[in-house]
Chains A and B, each alone.
Chain A
Amino acid sequence: MAGEKKGLQLLDFWVSPFGQRCRIALSEKGLPYEYLEQDLGNKSELLLRSNPVHKKIPVLLHDGRPVCESLIIVQYIDEAFPGKDGKPALLPADPYARAQARFWADYVDKKLYDCGTRLWKLKGEAQQQARKEMLEILRTLDGALGDGKFFGGEAFGFADVAIAPFTAWFLTYERHGEFSVEEECPRLVAWAKRCGERESVAKNLTPPEKVYEFICGMKKRFGIE
């Protein structure tokens, strides 16, 4: 029966940073999976059946059973395929470090994407407000990173997986907000480069110019200048 295939399938959309979190996690763990690109304008039976509540990507199917919501998927991947035999653990062992990782991943979910959307969609006063908020968010992340190599410290982990896909959106935010992330948050940009050196990230992020092109296309479709 369709949808009950053995193994891992990922229902996703090419430019989605949420989907990319899952792709990075799967790659970090060295897990083979079937990538299934979804048409969000004409949602498939499989997507609607797998995520009836939200009807959104990403969805991970494991032996046909759906796991929804990107951060929940990443945690599931970490727990169902625990760190051993060279597969890294994405969440650290220490309880407090785990809480911190979850906190920053959650912060990005609560703040970054929505603010970024307002930054490219809106004009005038509302756009200025979004710009102000975006700078605050990026500075907060820069501060949280501090002089650490990754958000988790020495090792690339859960928070890095959660935030890395959004680095591909910096260029889009910069052009709409007229600022430079490198100038405002140099540590964050250095971190983004380090993430980009990992195969899991390099393979799965959309090139920034392509993200920008995508957003320009969206704006045209919705009649935004």
Chain B
Amino acid sequence: MEKTPENASQAAPLKLFGSWASSYTHRVQLALRLKGLEFEYAEEDLGSKSNELLRHNPVYKKVPVLVHGGRALPESVIILQYLDDAWPETRPLLPADAFDRALARFWCHFADDKLGPAVGAVFASMGEDQEAAVRQVHENLALIEAELRDGAFKGRRFFGGDEVGLLDVVLGCGSYWLAVFEEVTGVRLVDADAFPLFHAWLRDFEALDEVRETIPAVDRLLEYARGVRHMLLGLAGAGAAAASAAAAAPAEAPAAPAPAPAADIAVDI
């Protein structure tokens, strides 16, 4: 492969395909702002995706996709790491130490694999199912709180240290849904007493200029969430699996239902 001089590729234009309510899109917008990078933004109608988007992300057909010098990058966490690799001298998102990087990646994966879907499940359910989902969210938050209190992130203002890093961006862009869902469902998710460090971190994160520039106004989010909740509860009789699949990525327009979960025998390999 021909090696392009770093400066030339850094100068190539950046275009982000996203959706205004998508926390995955916000991650990329925030990272670009933190790195001081100019970019063009294209809002996608998730109910009617553009040919350009489908061409750039044929495998998943989702937002966000970042196109840099004509080359497409899908998947938010992959995009964020790309930004670090392509602009190594500017405000790194990942720490330098290999073990710290592994920790940041681990908790990013936890955020997307466990916490996010658990929050989505709260939003998509009612009654006893919702109570179980809330317990799951609390268990997940407790694990993060423990790391802030005595573990990997002890004593830090942000997960990245004095400055925000990859994990702050990943956890932070999504955590604002917690307050929105609390308002819409009437359920308490992030208790300042139960999770004081997480609460303090989120408050500091949301106060940052670049974050305030990125996250939509809360009344827009509330309106959006109320609409989705209304639709999901209307579907509640039609199958919880479909509803929670749609809610797990609350910012996506109603997606096709995920395939029904496999037989519930766990194979632990």
Contact = CB atoms under 8 A, between A and B. Distances in A.
Interface of A: 13, 15-16, 18, 40, 53, 56-57, 62, 65, 67-69, 72-73, 75-76, 79-80, 94-99, 102-103, 106-107, 114, 117-118, 121-122, 126, 129, 133, 140, 153, 218, 222
A118 B262 contact: yes
Contact of A95 (B85, B109, B260, B268): B85
Nearest to B108: A72
Contacts of A94: 1, 3
A164 B120 CA distance: 34
Given A97-B1, A126-B260, A79 B71 contact: no
B73 interface: yes
B143 interface: yes
Interface string B106-141: 100110000000000000000000000000000000
Interface of B: 1, 3, 9, 59, 68, 71, 73-75, 78-79, 81-82, 85-86, 98-99, 101-102, 105-106, 109-110, 143, 259-260, 262-263, 265, 267-269
Contacts of B262: 114, 117-118, 121-122
Given A40-B268, A118-B262, A218-B267, A80 B143 contact: no
A103 B99 contact: no
Given A16-B269, A95-B82, A103-B75, A75 B143 contact: no
Contacts of A73: 102
Nearest to A215: B267
A68 B71 CA distance: 31
A67 B81 contact: no
A76 B99 contact: yes
B4 to A, nearest CB: 8
Contacts of A76: 98-99, 101-102
A72 B105 contact: yes
A140 B57 CA distance: 13
A120 to B, nearest CB: 10
Nearest to B79: A99
Nearest to A123: B263
A4 to B, nearest CB: 14
The 7 A-B pairs of least Cβ separation, nearest first, read A95-B85, A79-B98, A95-B86, A80-B98, A99-B82, A16-B269, A76-B102
Given A72-B105, A117-B267, A67 B259 contact: no
A145 to B, nearest CB: 14
A99 B65 CA distance: 12
21 contacts: A16-B269, A40-B269, A62-B99, A65-B99, A67-B99, A69-B105, A75-B105, A76-B99, A79-B98, A80-B99, A97-B1, A99-B73, A99-B79, A99-B82, A102-B75, A102-B78, A103-B75, A103-B78, A107-B59, A122-B263, A129-B259
Given A99-B81, A121-B263, 10 more contacts: A18-B269, A67-B99, A69-B109, A72-B102, A76-B102, A103-B75, A114-B262, A121-B262, A121-B265, A218-B267
